[in-house]
Amino acid sequence: MSYGYEINELAKEESWRMFRIIGEFVEGFDKLSSIEPAVTIYGSARLKVEDELYAETEEIAYRLGQLGFSIVTGGGPGVMEAASKGARKAGVTSVGLNISLPKEQACNAYSTKSITFDHFFTRKVMLVKYAIAFVIMPGGLGTLDEVTEVLTLIQTRKIKPFPVVLFNNEFWKGFLDWLRSTVLSRKYVSESDFDLLRVLDSPEEVVEAIRKWYVGREVVGKKALIK
C-alpha cells in the first residue's frame, strides 16, 4: 500500500516538474524575444577583477555593444560580470541567465535583464537561442561543456554556423592540440570541424571578426548596426 502511494506521488512530482520546465522555457522566450541581435559570452565564474582577462572581456562586450549587439552571459561573477559590465557601459541590454545552485550564485549587478533557472538544460537553450556569435573566454568544466555543445549543435546543423571565437591562443592551445593529435587521429572528429571555430588574441580582433561576419551575411536586423 505504502509502495503504491509512493509511486503515485513520484508520478505527480514528475508531472509538475514537466510544467516547471515548460514555465522556464516560456519565461525565457517571453523575456528574451526582443534582444536580437545578441552575442553570448562564456567563461570562468572564478575570474578575478584584477586579472587582465577581466578587462579584456569587458572591452569585448563594450565594443560589441557599441555596434548594437546585446550581450548574453550566464549571469554570475567572473567573466560573466565583466561582460555584463561592458554591455552596460555601452548602453545595451545585458542579459544574465543565472542558475540556482546548492552554493547560491548571485546574479551580477550589471545585468539589466535577468532570469534564474533551476535546470541547466533550459538555461543552455536560452544561452544559444538568440545569439548570432559565441565568444568563449578561458574557463573550466562549465566552459568546456558550453563550447563543445555549441560546436556540436553547429556540426549537426541544429543551429546555423555562427562564429565561435576562442579567446587567448595560449589558453586553448593544449585543448586544440589534443583534439588534433588524439581525437582527430582516431577519426572521432573531422578536419572540417576545426573550421567551425577561430582563435583570436585581442578584443579588437574578436569584435572585427563578428562584425565582418554579420555584415557579410546581410543579417542586419532591427537595430542600426555597423557600417
Question: What's the rounded mean pLDDT across residues 36-50?
Answer: 96
pLDDT at 220 over 90: no
Q: Is the pTM of this model over 0.85?
A: yes
Mean pLDDT (whole number) for 102-117? 85
pLDDT recorded at residue 223: 43
Reported confidence tier of residue 17, pLDDT bands at 50, 70, 90:
confident
What's the rounded Cα separation, in Å, for the pair 27 and 69? 22
Distance CA 183, CA 189 (A): 6
Mean pLDDT of the chain: 90
The pairing of strands 198-200 and 164-167 is parallel
The reported pLDDT for the residue numbered 225 is 42
Please tell me the distance from the alpha carbon of residue 189 to that of residue 199, in angstroms, as a whole number.
18
Report in angstroms the alpha-carbon separations of 77 from 43, 60, 89, 114: 10, 16, 17, 14
Mean pLDDT of 118-142: 95
Q: What is the Cα–Cα distance from 39 to 19, expressed in whole angstroms?
A: 29
User: If pLDDT is split at 50, 70 and 90, which confidence band does 7 have?
Assistant: low
**Quick one: what percent of the chain has pLDDT higher than 70?**
89
Cα-Cα end-to-end distance for the chain: 71
C-alpha cell at 202: 585581442
pLDDT at residue 8, rounded to an integer: 62
Lowest mean pLDDT among 105-119, 150-164, 189-203, 213-227: 213-227
To which residue does cell 535577468 refer? 114
pLDDT value, residue 3: 56
Identify the band that residue 13 occupies on the pLDDT scale cut at 50, 70 and 90. confident
Q: What's the one-letter identity of residue 79?
A: V
Domain annotation for the chain: domains and CATH numbers: 35-216 (3.40.50.450)
* pLDDT value for 16: 82
- Between CA 45 and CA 24, with CA 164 as vertex, the angle to 5 degrees is 55
Per-residue pLDDT at 221 exceeds 50:
no
Average confidence (pLDDT) over 137-160: 95
pLDDT of residue 54: 98
